[in-house]
Structure 1
Amino acid sequence: MQVFKAMFKITKKRLPSALAYIIVFIVISVIASSNASKDSKFEMTKLKICIFDEDDTSESRELSELIAQNHDIVEIENDRDVIIDSLYYKRADYALVINEGYAEKLRAGDTADIFASYCLDESFSTVYMGQFLDEYTNSVKAYLSMGMPIDEALSCTEEALSQETDVSMLRNDKGGDAHYSVDFAAYFQYMPYILISAVFIIVCQVLVTMNRRDIRFRTNCSCISSSKYTFQLFLGSGFFVLAVWLLFMAVGVMLNKEMYTGRAWYAVFNSLIFSAVVAAIAVFVSSFEPADNILNLITQVLGLGLSFLCGVFIPREILSDKVLSVARFLPAYWYINANEMIADVIPFSSEGVIQCYLIQLGFAAALILLTLLVRKVRYSGAAISTNVRKTAVSH
């Protein structure tokens, strides 16, 4: 097992880079799990608003007080440049100007040009405050049209707009499963990207080192056969990938105490099979001995490419049919397909999940065969690729 031992000596030097990906993924997963909740309380958003009352009447002051009840009032100098700077640097979200003649026009039912504002185009605060002011003035006009005096109309409008209703945000999981919630399914959903990134950083770089010309020629001249050498490379790669996978499963137990119950077992096996696929991809890529910068590029292209095409980062229901047609030829698609079945995002079927397993295993087997073929062609022996020069020896 000399090759196996040599791999682990090299792995120790590369381990910190992979741990960075793994630790970040675990921390984000723990935070997301702790914040996950079935029910959440709706709370109205408060804006930072500055008000310039140029009318200075009881009617305008009453509007200012109503706005102050639901938002934070910011004092800013009434200067255009100062206001724009405040909006740009987020010291204020909205600047409202109550124009002179506001009260007179409101009594007459004319709401044109009674307000001016400074705001960022198409921002949330612009739409939010515009809708509020429209509701306020329309309510006042409605009460005035009923024959109410202005004071009573303003009072009724304030009472109507101040009504609060308790709202709870309920999420309806599609089918759901007692032991494999949608929240926990997200933990497995993003695992392919982390597996690819962490495994490629370690396994590929270690294998590229092991495939260096001087080391390979020395190995070919030793008593270790090419098949044993390749077998130990696969074994070492598989051992590291298994260690990373076991770490993720241990964290999964912390996030979901019922991980090893019911359908969650399907997700466990699904992630194990995909880990084997990732290991096979890493060994195959390393057989071409890419340089470090090329290897980093391949890692990002594979990690992000598979994630975006196959539904890791983007829900598959918003991907086009053409994208999904291409994704069917990638192993991550079948991993996500199985994960969504297990979480009841799409109808669950044990036969369908097993079919996804078999397709992923097919990808792994094909990659292993291609790796053996590539290694046989590229590394058939030191003597084949070494020029031997014959020299005469004088006696």
Structure 2
Amino acid sequence: MQVFKTMFKVMRSRLPSAMIYIIIFLAISAFVTSQSTKDNKFEMNRLKVCVFDEDDTPESRALTKFIGKHNDIVEIDNNRNTITDSLYYKTVNYALIINKGYAERLAAGETAELFGSYHMDESYSVVYMSKMLDEYTGSVKAYLAMGKSLEEAVSATEAAMSQETEVEMFRVDKGGDSHFSVDFAQYFQFMPYILVSVIISIVSLVLVTMNKKDIRYRTNCSCLKNSKYTFQLFFGSFLFVLFIWLIFMVAGTVFNKEMYTGRAWLAVLNSFIFSMVVAALAVFIASFEPKDNILNLITQVLGLGMSFLCGVFVPMEILSDGVLSAARFLPAYWYVRANRMISEEDAFSSEGVMKCMLIECLFIVVLVLMTILVRRLRYSSASIGSAVKKAAA
């Protein structure tokens, strides 16, 4: 097992860079878990609004007072440069101008050209203020149509829109007694990216080092068979991947105390199979002996590419049919499909989950066979060259 021992000596020197990925991922997972709660009180956001009342009537002042109940009124100079600077530096979210003639037009039932505004872009604050002003003026117009005076209509509108309802937000964890919560589903959802980034960047780099020409030619000249050499490389790679996977599983027990109960077992199994897929992919990539910068590029392309195309970072509901059709040829797609069924984002089906896992296993088989084929084609020339040199001697 000399090859196996040498491989792990090289891996030890590369392990610190892998731990950076792992620590960042676990830190983010811990933060997300700590921020989530089962019950959340709904609280309306308060915007920083400045109001320039050019009408200066009781009705316009009533509107300014109403806006101040739900937002923070900011006093700034009525100067275009001052306003734009305040918007740019976020000291003001929205600048409202109540146009002259506001009360007169409102009394006539007109709702056009009542306001002007300054804002940076079509953001949440713009939509929120526009909606509130539309509701306010629309309500006043409705009360006027009922025969109320303008003063009565403004008072009735303020009373109606000031009513508050206590809202409590509850998040329902699908899966019932599966012990596979929403938070834990997200923990497994983003795992493909970190597995690809860590495993390929470390395993492939180590294998490329082991496959350098001088080392490889020396191995071919030894009595070690090529099949045994390849087996030791596979075995060492899978042990390293198992170690990385176990780190995530142990950390998972911290985020979910009931990790090893119910349907969560399926998520654990699914992540293990995908880890083996990535290990086989790393060995396959290493067979081409890419340079360090090319290997880093391949790692990022595969990690980000599969994450965006297969539903890791972007929900599958948003992806087009064409993208999903292409993603079927990538192992991460089937991992995400299984994870979605386990968490019941899609309808749960034990047969469907097993089908996805079986397809992932087929990726492993295909990658292993392709690796063996590539290694025989690339390194057979080394054995032939060695034999010719011996014969010439």
TM range (shorter): over 0.9
Residue 44 to residue 289, structure 1, CA distance change in 2 (3 Å) = same
Q: Which residue of 1 aligns with 2:304?
A: 304
- Give the aligned partner of residue 165 of structure 1: 165
Q: Which moved more, 1:114-123 or 1:102-111?
A: 102-111
Letter in structure 2 aligned against 1:254: V
Deviations 1:153-211 (A, max 9, x none): 32222111111011223344555443112321111111111111100111000000000
| SS of residue matched to 2:380 | coil
Deviations 1:207-241 (A, max 9, x none): 00000011112222233322222111111111110
CA–CA distance in structure 1, aligned partners of residues 210 and 172 of structure 2 = 52
The DSSP-based 3-state class of the residue aligned with 2:166 is coil
- After superposition, where does 1:236-315 map in structure 2 within 5 Å? 236-315=236-315
Deviates more, 1:232-241 or 1:117-126: 117-126
Q: 1:199 touches 1:241 (CA, 8 Å); kept in 2?
A: yes
The equivalent residue for 1:225 is 225
Provide the residue aligned with 1:122 in structure 2. 122
Question: What CA distance in whole angstroms lies between the structure 2 residues aligned with 1:275 and 1:60?
Answer: 64
Match of 1:377 in 2: 377
Give the equivalent residue in structure 2 for 1:55.
55
The residue matched to 1:305 in structure 2 has which SS?
helix
Q: Give the match for residue 334 of structure 1.
A: 334
Change (3 A) 1:317 1:62: closer
Distance 1:99 1:382, change over 3 A: closer
Tell me the distance in 1 between the aligned counterparts of 2:330 and 2:123: 40
Question: Which residue does the alignment assign to 1:184?
Answer: 184
Structure 2: runs of 5+ lacking an equivalent: none
RMSD of Structure 2 on Structure 1 (CA): 2.2
Corresponding residue number in structure 2 for 1:364? 364
After superposition, what is the alpha-carbon deviation per residue over 1:286-341, rounded to whole angstroms, capped at 9, x for unaligned? 01101111111211221122222222222223333333333222222222222122
Does 337-346 or 349-358 show the bigger shift?
A: 349-358
SS in 1 for 2:46: coil
Q: Which region of structure 1 is more displaced relative to structure 2, 167-176 or 52-61? A: 167-176
Match of 2:156 in 1: 156
- Are residues 21 and 137 of structure 1, via their aligned partners in 2, closer, same or farther at CA, if it must alter by over 3 Å? same
Q: Distance in 2 between matches of 1:315 and 1:151?
A: 50
Is this contact kept in 2: 1:220–1:381, CA < 8 A? no
Contact kept, 8 Å, 1:52 with 1:98, in 2: the verdict is yes
Q: Does 1:95 align with 2:88?
A: no
Distance 1:152 1:36 in 2: 45
CA distance in 1, matches of 2:233, 2:266: 29
- In structure 2, what residue type is equivalent to 1:292? D
More moved, 95-104 vs 199-208: 95-104
After superposition, the Cα gap between the structure-2 partners of 1:147 and 1:325, relative to the gap in structure 1 and judged at 3 Å, is closer
Q: How do 1:342-361 residues align onto structure 2 when only pairs under 5 Å count?
A: 342-361=342-361
Q: Secondary structure at the match of 2:360?
A: helix
Residue pair 1:176, 1:344 contacting (<8 A) in 2 also: no
Instruction: Provide the secondary structure at the position in 2 that maps to 1:81.
Output: helix
Per the TM alignment, residue 114 of structure 1 is displaced from its structure 2 partner at its CA by: 3.0
Distance 1:51 1:60 in 2: 10
CA contact (8 A) 1:176 1:182 kept: no
Q: Cα distance 1:147–1:333, how it changes in 2: closer, same or farther (>3 A)? A: closer
Under a length normalisation based on structure 2, what TM-score does the superposition of the two structures give?
0.92
Conserved in 1, the CA contact under 8 Å of 2:76 and 2:83?
yes
Residue identity opposite 1:152 in structure 2: E
TM-score, normalization by structure 1: 0.92
Q: Which segment is superposed worse, 155-164 or 334-343?
A: 334-343
C-alpha distance 83-346 of structure 1, shift in aligned 2 (>3 A):
same
Closer, same or farther: CA 121–323 of 1 in aligned 2, 3 Å: closer
Change (3 A) 1:97 1:269: same
Q: Does structure 1 retain, via aligned residues, the 8 Å contact 2:22–2:194?
A: yes
| CA drift at 1:120 | 2.9
CA 1:116–1:328: 2 relative to 1, 3 Å: closer
Find the aligned partners of 2:383 and 2:141 in 1 and give their Cα distance: 96
1:28 is matched with 28
Give the distance between the partners of 2:271 and 2:145, measured in 1 at CA: 67
- Of 279-288 and 12-21, deviating more is 12-21
* Residue 67 of structure 2 corresponds to residue 67 of structure 1: yes
**Offset of residue 391 of structure 1:** 9.2
